[in-house]
Structure 1
Amino acid sequence: MEDNNLEKKYSKLIIAVSIVIPVVVAILFGVKLKDFGFNVEPLSVLPPIYATINGVTAIVLVWAVLAIKNGNQKLHERLMTLAIALSVAFLVMYVAYHMTADSTKFGDLNHDGVLDLAESAKVGSIRYLYFIILITHILLSIAIIPLVLITYVRALAQRFDRHRKIAKITFPIWLYVAVTGVIVFLMISPYYAN
């Protein structure tokens, strides 16, 4: 009964966090510090760092699954906590970068912020692939928030039967978000203004 209480105790917090994080990120994504008089240079060092964090997160997730399959629960717990910490670090850096830099247009070869017909023709249909990956990445990164939190709380509550059931859904989605984060960076990085 106490285990159910732990899940119940955190359910409202999970709902709140799952709503607040995407809303705050969306709002902050539209905020540019320079529009408020702050003279800040774009934090252009951050995209390769947060892309690397996404890649490390993917490795940590796979390692954590292997650890639990090999019966190493303590290592699994530590790795999953690390994966959450890495995801939070990614989010903070992602927001910080987008608050200091203008959006990058995929295919903008001359970095003028405009995708003209020649640039569009040169990029071709790969642009559609980029947007498919980007849109699924964004949507699933929103969906993964409550899944990770529910999965984590069920482990804390030692409801391992319920934890395993949702982890089978959470893991592949979280892995997809981490891997596509790297892919999106690799695809857009040639178009960042220097």
Structure 2
Amino acid sequence: MENNTIETKYNKLIIVLSVVIPVAVAALFGVSFKKLGIDVEPFTFLPPIYASINALTALLLVVAVIAIKNGNRKLHEILMKLAIACSVAFLLMYVAYHMSSESTKYLGEYKMVYYFILISHILLSIAIIPLVLITYVKALAQRFDKHKKIAKITFPIWLYVAVTGVIVYLMISPFYAN
């Protein structure tokens, strides 16, 4: 299959996923297991797990960049696939938690800082979806010149999203209902 064909093949999927994922997550915030008639205890164990997954994602991203700078393409590829898998796992757990639990309000003294970090995290987590997918497809198509160019934009944004996910958790966790 020609490289352009690979990119063309995935372009529609990238667009669909870039729209569907944020819309689905937003829609699921209005849906709870209780509203669906499913009686479950809140998944209160999930936030520290998905915060840890965000931390792991950040670590994987940094090590992947070091690997590629050292010429280790295979390790880079493995680490990037793991980072994508971690991001998917995070998303699934995040949605499951919010479908089982009431929203938690931040009650600390650093509200402006918290909400700035939270809002920038949310907006960039939406923006990172097409960036990661496009970057991945460029590598899949072996268009490494274009992959490298967009990766220079994708990497810092994805790293910011992963790190701020941990920061948001650390700031909000004292206010979770017990």
Question: What band does the TM-score fall into relative to the shorter chain?
Answer: over 0.9
Write the distance in 2 (CA, Å) between the matches of 1:35 and 1:27: 13
Matched residue, 2:82? 82
Code of the residue aligned with 1:64 in structure 2: it is A
Matched residue, 2:126? 142
Find the partner of 2:149 among 118, 142, 165: 165
Deviation at 1:36, TM superposition (A): 2.6
Give matches, 1:1-194, under 5 Å.
2-107=2-107, 123-124=108-109, 126-194=110-178
Write the distance in 2 (CA, Å) between the matches of 1:9 and 1:32: 35
Code of the residue aligned with 1:138 in structure 2: it is I
Matched residue, 1:111? none
Percent identity between matched residues is 72
Write the distance in 2 (CA, Å) between the matches of 1:14 and 1:35: 31
Deviation at 1:35, TM superposition (A): 2.0
| Structure whose CA Rg is larger | 1
Write the distance in 1 (CA, Å) between the matches of 2:36 and 2:82: 35
Deviation at 1:74, TM superposition (A): 0.1
The Cα RMSD (Å) is 0.9
What per-residue deviation string (whole Å, max 9, x for no partner) do you get for residues 53-99 of structure 1? 00000000000000000000000000000000000000000000000
Code of the residue aligned with 2:168 in structure 1: it is V
Runs of 4 or more above 4 Å deviation: none
Deviation at 1:29, TM superposition (A): 1.6
TM-score under structure 1 length normalisation: 0.90
Secondary structure of the structure 2 residue equivalent to 1:36: coil
Code of the residue aligned with 1:170 in structure 2: it is T
Write the distance in 2 (CA, Å) between the matches of 1:37 and 1:19: 28
Deviation at 1:37, TM superposition (A): 2.3
Write the distance in 2 (CA, Å) between the matches of 1:88 and 1:191: 26
TM-score under structure 2 length normalisation: 0.98
Write the distance in 1 (CA, Å) between the matches of 2:114 and 2:9: 40
Equivalenced residue count is 178
Gaps of 5+ in 2: none
